[in-house]
């Protein structure tokens, strides 16, 4: 373990790097690095309990603190905060096309990528906990996919946990990818309808852009093709509190006049690139459906089920709907940074021997206190599945609220985290 210390306004940040096995079943094999930032307030007792934060995704690094505000400020009232860059993200050993293709042929690449799910992330956390805390358990806060990781944590290693807090991320315990997307497509359609109700002029704007992309070769500033299907993935924004506005301001003035007539403006195309992260967070595309696969294959579940929903096609007479958190296989042909991993992605989609993530008996005997914010209108983690999971885990209290969207921790984190802490302590 190596570390460096830095001081920010109101914060002290220690940066740590840990060596962990790529495959925890083979601890003497290849090693990778996991980065963690331990954050506290100046003068705080170093022995105070730790709270590890697990970021959403999969495939995104932990937040980079700029100061003591939002949910971080609330957390530091009770804890030292551990911000882990989950394996393959942030300052941990980077997972990108160069590293993946260096693993060998497509099968070797798929085998390498299979080590980046929540089961491996939890094993990493346990190694980090022992380095930082010894035998003392720590608490965990899981946002979105981080909540999936926190729930996994309760299966193999509940002894490492003091408390569990989850925001928008209690996962289905046994539902298949097909069952999950069957529900989330319905939620996505409701979000689209609400978006167009707020901005009715965008019905025309979105369709005009889509029809142009269907009949013209359009390149983004970075050189990738902007297809109709990739344009529709902008609907991922619809589940955030500011997502309707993000989309509206992007499509409200997308055109310019070129030598051959009207064309999509550079500012619009750059805006599309800025809104998407397919190239810089490849784990999200490669392993998103694998979040749901236990002993079965996803076989591009979201793409297969899309055929049942004509609202997402230009042939539909009504408003053209934008897709949500559905991974489109076209991305591996159209996003340059993903293209070298296309064959491996196909193998992962067909992989049918994924390990089971959640031990129902272990979860049913849980003794770790926990609290979860379940967002009533969550576009990504369907609330009924979350409530079913909470009901299966003794000690997991729920706060069902329609006050926030999926990004409640970002939009009003001090209140959200404070409410969960009060629930665990029996004060709410």
Residues involved in catalysis: 144, 353, 406
Burial class (CB in 10 A: 0-12, 13-18, 19+), 318: exposed
Say what the alpha-carbon torsion angle 65, 70, 73, 76 is, to the nearest 10 degrees: -80
Q: How far apart (Å, rounded) are the C-alpha atoms in residues 55 and 58?
A: 8
Nearest one of 311, 278, 316 to 192, comparing CA atoms: 311
Let me know how many helices (H) and strands (E) the chain has, helices first: 17, 11
Nearest one of 420, 426, 428, 427 to 164, comparing CA atoms: 420
User: 139: number of CA atoms within 13 Å, CB side?
Assistant: 22
Burial class (CB in 10 A: 0-12, 13-18, 19+), 197: exposed
Q: How far apart (Å, rounded) are the C-alpha atoms in residues 67 and 10?
A: 6
> Under a CB-based contact definition with an 8 Å cutoff, are residues 20 and 27 in contact?
no
Q: How far apart (Å, rounded) are the C-alpha atoms in residues 140 and 52?
A: 5
Residues 6 or more apart whose Cβ sits within 8 Å of residue 208: none
Strand partners, 141: 53, 165
What is the SS3 assignment for 39? strand
Considering all CA atoms of the chain, what is the largest pairwise distance in Å, rounded to the nearest integer?
69
Q: How far apart (Å, rounded) are the C-alpha atoms in residues 261 and 131?
A: 63
Strand partners, 243: none
User: 254: number of CA atoms within 13 Å, CB side?
Assistant: 24
- String of DSSP letters for 165-187: EEES----SS--HHHHHHHHHHH
What is the SS3 assignment for 375? strand
């Amino acid at each position: 373990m190596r570390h460096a210390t830095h001081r920010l306004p109101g914060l002290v940040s220690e940066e740590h790097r840990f060596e962990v096995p790529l495959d925890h079943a083979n601890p003497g094999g290849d090693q990778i690095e996991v980065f963690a930032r331990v954050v506290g307030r100046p003068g705080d007792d170093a022995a105070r309990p730790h709270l590890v934060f697990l970021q959403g995704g999969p495939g995104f690094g932990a937040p980079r603190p700029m100061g003591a505000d939002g949910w971080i400020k609330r957390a530091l009232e009770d804890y030292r905060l551990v911000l882990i860059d989950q394996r393959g993200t942030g300052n941990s050993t980077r997972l990108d096309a160069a590293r993946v293709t260096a693993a060998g042929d497509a099968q070797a690449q798929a085998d390498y990528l299979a080590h980046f799910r929540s089961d491996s992330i939890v094993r990493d956390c346990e190694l980090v906990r022992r380095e930082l805390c010894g035998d003392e358990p720590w608490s965990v806060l899981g946002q979105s996919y981080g909540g999936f990781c926190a729930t996994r944590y309760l299966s193999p290693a509940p002894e490492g946990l003091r408390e569990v807090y989850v925001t928008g991320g209690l996962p289905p315990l046994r539902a298949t990818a097909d069952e999950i997307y069957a529900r989330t497509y319905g939620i996505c359609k409701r979000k689209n309808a609400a978006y167009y109700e707020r901005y009715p002029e965008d019905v025309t704007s979105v369709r005009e852009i889509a029809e142009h992309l269907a009949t013209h070769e359009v390149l983004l500033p970075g050189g990738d093709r902007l297809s109709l299907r990739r344009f529709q993935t902008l609907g991922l924004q619809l589940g955030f509190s500011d997502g309707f506005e993000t989309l509206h301001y992007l499509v409200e003035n997308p055109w310019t006049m070129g030598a051959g007539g009207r064309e999509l403006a550079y500012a619009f195309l750059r805006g599309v690139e800025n809104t998407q992260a397919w190239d810089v967070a490849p784990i999200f595309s490669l392993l998103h459906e694998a979040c749901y696969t236990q002993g079965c294959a996803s076989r591009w579940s979201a793409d297969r089920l899309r055929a049942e929903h004509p609202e997402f096609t230009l042939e539909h007479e009504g408003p053209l709907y934008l897709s949500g958190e559905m991974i489109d296989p076209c991305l591996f042909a159209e996003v340059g940074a993903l293209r070298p991993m296309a064959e491996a992605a196909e193998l992962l989609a067909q992989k049918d021997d994924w390990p089971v993530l959640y031990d129902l008996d272990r979860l049913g005997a849980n003794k770790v206190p926990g609290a979860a914010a379940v967002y009533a209108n969550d576009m990504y983690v369907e609330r009924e599945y979350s409530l079913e999971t909470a009901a299966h885990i003794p000690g997991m209290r729920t706060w069902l609220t329609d006050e926030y969207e999926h990004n409640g921790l970002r939009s009003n984190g001090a209140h959200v985290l404070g409410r969960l802490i009060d629930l665990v302590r029996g004060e709410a």
